[in-house]
Amino acid sequence: MKKSLQANTSQCVAIVEKFEKKERSWFPTSQIPTDLIIHVQDINFYVHKLPLISKSECLSDLLKSRPSQSNSSCDIKLDNFPGGAETFELIIKFCYGFSVDLTASNVAPVRCAAEFLQMTEEYEEGNLISKTESFIAFIVLSSWRDSITVMKSCECLSTWAENLQILRKCTDAVALKIIRRTSMCNDTDYDGERWWFDDISILCIDHFVRIITAIRAKGSKPEIIGASIMHYAEKWLPGMEELQGQKGFGHRKNELHMTILSGKWEEGNVGQEKEQRRMIEVLVSILPPQREAVPCKFLLSMLKMALVYTATTALVSELEKRVGMVLGDATVYDLLIPIPSYNNGTEGKLGSPSEERRTMHDVDTIQRIVEYFLMHEQQLQQQQSNVGKLLDGYLTEIARDPNLSIAKFQALAEVLPQDARTCHDGLYRAIDTYLKTHPTLMEHDRRRLCKPMDCEKLSLDGCMHAAQNDRLPLRTVMQVTFSYKVLYSEQIKMRAAMNGKGPMQHDIMCEQDSTWSTKKEIKNIISELQKIRTSIEELQHDYSQLQQEFEKANKQKIVSGWSSGWKKFKTSTLFHGKMNAMDTENVQLGQTTVSSKNSRRRRKSIS
């Protein structure tokens, strides 16, 4: 029976000279009419049964299960065929005995298709499965380029390539070649360690992760792994390279971030948005845990992208913690994370933003990052000093936002411990910028805004500027004036010591300057108190007039209920108590300012 089948198959193959395609039909040129139609995707293949069933156990079983149809052709539809119609065409040519050229681009689909059709060695000697396996083992795995090409071709083969171990074999081969070649490079050979970045960046995210996981298991350095992840992110995440490459900082530099944000909600981009979000989450999950693996700039860029594409809360939190560990390496521009206004009809998708969310920058995220930094870096004073300067620069930038609340500004200014800032000039600059942007603040709000600033930690130049700044509250100006006097006296003392003047002469100069400054401060305080007393007297005069008018009205008994209420108010000490408290507070303020003349502290000049 088998010999008869082979004879008939040879007869069919011998009379087929070539294959033709017409529109969506594919058929061999033969004098023997075809008796089988196979539908793959949208292509109809008109073929003979015998050549195919002689190689494919699957097709043989399908035809046996159908009733005999001697007078008509059989129809078979192959759903979810690996590789599609193009791969099935190669299978038919192999069954008819034609030469099939296996390449790195087609060997994986052909191997999966042969498995689908059960073209095993047990069914027919020299069958297609054994041929493709040999090609992969001896040709593909020995070549770097072919291994990458096969992995790329497996992206559309889903679980077939996974189950047949094609991906695993290629991944191991690629990882081994990376480790061997990079191990021969010294630490200064930057290009030699990164020669493979471009090649593996053409792969899909899942296959890229396979290679990174493999080389990490083989002991690759975290800096190399981190650099490859950065390279991949710059290629596949729109705007990532620009976010890292921008230099300087300011509001104009956030235009790219806002452009990415506005474009992601365009119609037809929903699927792409999900893909980008998944890519961000996967890349962050494979980042090496070591601090030196990736720079702070890249982590902050990934954080911005994660916020743009609404990544999970856990992922955002993980990025914030990692940024906090290396915050000392950041720049002010890196910290500027804009908050979208969600205009152009997107409110319906995202919900109406609250009043707090209408600020220009995401201050809450930065505050959490600084708190994470303090958890890791409390023992490093130098790091805290660097972050203090960084935070002051950030506060100066966000202070230009007209919608930034005092509470958020104050909370971020006070997040660092007292000893984190050796000089408060940067903080004063941020406060002054906020006062310029918000000129209508009340006096108590100005005092609240200046609360985080220690006037004794201002440099001489900072004190000179602040003492003449009419935007600051009166109490702060007086404190700054006294600090300026102390700093000026210390500079005179140091100058006298450098010029070789005696201590008696220097003490006389300091005492004269101290006396002059103290008298001037007392005169200013007395002048302010006189103004307050005048205002109080005017209020008391108005009160007396109102009292007289009320007594007249009370005699006429116009409104008895109002009379009772007014008498209670009349006998109340609330108003008089407030007057006395205001008077006492200002007197105490003057006393405190004058009594603080004995304090002496050294200052750093503003650089």
pLDDT tens per residue, range 225-262: 999 999 999 999 987 766 665 543 344 445 545 455 54
pLDDT at 70: 52
Number of neighbours of residue 218 by Cβ within 10 angstroms: 14
Pairing relationship of beta strands 43-47 and 36-40 according to DSSP bridges:
antiparallel
374 in Cβ contact with 321 (< 8 Å): no
Residue 77 is given by DSSP the state: E
Task: Give percent of the chain above pLDDT 70.
Answer: 68
Residues 6+ apart with CB under 8 A from 461: 425, 605, 606
Q: Is 523 exposed, middle or buried (0-12, 13-18, 19+ CB in 10 A)?
A: exposed
What is the average per-residue pLDDT within 161-172?
Answer: 95
Q: What is the mean pLDDT of residues 217-231?
A: 93
CB 40, CB 84: distance < 8 Å: yes
User: Would you say 412 and 367 are in contact if contact means Cβ atoms under 8 Å apart?
Assistant: yes
Q: Is the pLDDT reported for residue 582 higher than 90?
A: no
What one-letter code names the amino acid at 584?
Answer: T
Among 391-395, 423-427, 441-445, 459-463, the minimum mean pLDDT is found in 459-463
Alpha carbon distance 95, 88 (integer Å)? 11
Does 54 or 518 have the greater pLDDT score?
A: 54
- What are the distances in angstroms from CA 391 to CA 45, 157, 330, 341, 507? 70, 50, 10, 25, 40
Decide if 147 contacts 214 (C-beta within 8 A).
Answer: no
What is the rounded average pLDDT of the residues 185-194? 72
Asked if 473 and 450 touch (Cβ cutoff 8 Å), the reply is: yes
The alpha carbon torsion through 545, 546, 552, 554 (nearest 10 deg) reads -160
- At residue 589, does pLDDT exceed 50? no
- Asked whether residue 458 carries a pLDDT value surpassing 60, the answer given is yes
Asked whether the predicted pLDDT for residue 84 surpasses 80, the reply is yes
Residue 395 has pLDDT above 90, yes or no: yes
Residue 15 contacts residue 30 (beta carbons within 8 Å): yes
- C-alpha distances (whole Å) from 348 to each of 38, 258, 273, 274, 362 are 50, 19, 18, 19, 22
Phi/psi at 405 (5° precision): -80, 155
Strand partners, 75: 37
| Percentage of the chain lying above the pLDDT 90 cut | 43
Q: Which range among 305-314, 366-375, 479-488 shows the weakest confidence by mean pLDDT?
A: 479-488
CATH superfamily of 1-187: Potassium Channel Kv1.1; Chain A (3.30.710.10)
Residue 494 parent element (H or E): helix 474-499
Quote helix, strand, coil % in the chain, to nearest 5. 65, 5, 30
Distance (Å, rounded) from C-alpha 220 to C-alpha 226?
A: 10
Position 14 pLDDT exceeds 70: no
Residues 6+ apart with CB under 8 A from 510: 489, 492, 493
* Between residues 321 and 259, the one the model is more confident about: 321
Cα radius of gyration (the chain):
41
Strands 25-28 and 43-47: parallel
Name the DSSP class of 47.
Answer: E
45: helix, strand or coil:
strand
Q: Supply φ then ψ for residue 584, to 5 degrees.
A: -65, -40
Alpha-helical runs (H) found in 351-424: 363-377, 381-398, 406-413
Cα–Cα distance measured from residue 331 to residue 333, given in angstroms and rounded to the nearest whole number? 5
Q: Please give the pLDDT value at position 358.
A: 67
Residue 280: pLDDT band by 50, 70, 90 thresholds?
Answer: very high
Query: Confidence band (pLDDT; 50, 70, 90) for 88?
Result: very high
Q: Phi and psi at residue 193, in whole multiples of 5°?
A: -85, -15
User: Is residue 295 exposed (0-12), middle (13-18) or buried (19+ Cβ within 10 Å)?
Assistant: middle
* Overall size of the chain counted in residues: 607
Which of the two residues, 563 and 41, has the higher pLDDT score? 41
Q: Which segment, 172-186, 282-296, 341-355, is predicted with the most confidence on average?
A: 282-296
d(CA 276, CA 309): 7
Nearest CA to 481 out of 518, 508, 529, 428 is that of 518
CB-CB neighbours of 311 under 10 Å: 21
Coil, strand or helix at 176:
helix
What tokens were used for 264? 């992601």
C-beta of residue 513 within 8 angstroms of C-beta of residue 459: no
CB 481 within 8 A of CB 521: yes
Question: What residue segments make up the domains of the chain, in order of their start?
Answer: 1-187, 205-243+273-341+360-496
Look at 154 and 535; give whichever has higher pLDDT.
154
